[in-house]
Amino acid sequence: MAAWQLQDFTSQCSGSRIWWLDDDIELCRQMHLRLQACGWQLTTFNRPDQLLAALQSAHPDLLLLDQRLPQQLGTDLLLALRSQGHAFPVLMISGLGTAEDRILGLELGAQDYLVKPFHPRELLLRCEQLLRNEQRTTITPRPHEQQLPLGDLTFLPHQGVLLRPDGPALNLSRGEASLLLALYRAPGRTLSRQQLARASGSLAPRSERRSRSIDMRLSRLRRLLGEASAGRLQIETLRGHGYALRIEPAATATPEEKSR
């Protein structure tokens, strides 16, 4: 790759997780270095089942989705993802460039559509625009919020990481990290579903897909917190009011137990 192609582009969304599903392995290889040079974390998949398996434990901030995939069209996969409540932005990439193809991709839930062959810089600019649009709707960590204590856990909101005293670190999606940050900033208070949806970028008027995405994010975040804290860190549901973060103190050993 020419040196000029690696220069003159600085992302304002450094650290964003970009997933790319495309069976063109050589194209992904050629663009991998360029996307990483922007400060983005790139993960590539060559089959839909690989992507679906990864979604069981993590979520991207942006998905690049090829239209012609092995055994499945990208638009069919996109429709399935949206019906399941996945609300992350999607950039469709396809060699099919007719108006009907572009319209279909957008109607099924893609935020943008890029026709192959494309200029590398155009891909970068479109990724940057979609990531910025997503960030504008979400709560973001402040400069002093580097390490936030959550019981025995430590939350790194800038990295979207949960550290625990023993065991591997847990990676959160941008939406999940924004949810946790909103709850952390409201100690002892209840946040409405709408407040959390706005904080995590899941709020869109009259959008059932976005409505379901907040439930999915809350469910996964609740599970991660419970497992990492042995149940002492919980997102409590107050029916008809909203949600609140509750931290139960660790059980204190009795004098007799300490002496054993």
pLDDT band at 136 (very low <50, low <70, confident <90, very high): low
Q: Does domain 148-247 have CATH number 1.10.10.10?
A: yes
Of the CA atoms within 13 Å of residue 22, those in its CB half-sphere come to 25
Q: How far apart are CA 243 and CA 195, in angstroms?
A: 10
**Paired tokens of 34:** 């360029």
Query: Looking at domain 3-136, which CATH architecture does it have?
Result: 3-Layer(aba) Sandwich (3.40)
191-207 as b/e: b if 16+ CB within 10 A: bebebbbbbbbbbeeee
| pLDDT the model gives residue 14 | 81
Decide: 173 and 17 in contact? Cβ < 8 Å: yes
How many C-beta atoms lie closer than 10 Å to residue 135's C-beta? 17
Q: Where are the domains of the chain?
A: 3-136, 148-247
| pLDDT the model gives residue 251 | 54
pLDDT, mean of residues 37-55: 93
Per the model's pLDDT, the better-predicted residue between 181 and 7 turns out to be: 181
| pLDDT the model gives residue 185 | 87
Q: How far apart are CA 191 and CA 242, in angstroms?
A: 5
Candidate from 27-41, 133-147, 161-175 with smallest mean pLDDT:
133-147
Is a pLDDT exceeding 70 seen at residue 252? no
Coil, helix or strand for 40? coil
- For β-strands 161-163 and 41-45, DSSP reports them as unpaired
| pLDDT the model gives residue 5 | 46
Report the predicted TM-score, pTM, of the whole model to 2 decimal places. 0.58
- Arithmetic mean of pLDDT over the chain: 83
pLDDT band at 3 (very low <50, low <70, confident <90, very high): very low
pLDDT, mean of residues 106-125: 92
Is a pLDDT exceeding 50 seen at residue 253? no
Q: Residue 55, Cα to own-chain centre: how many angstroms?
A: 10
Decide: 93 and 67 in contact? Cβ < 8 Å: yes
Per the model's pLDDT, the better-predicted residue between 194 and 150 turns out to be: 150
Is a pLDDT exceeding 70 seen at residue 205? no
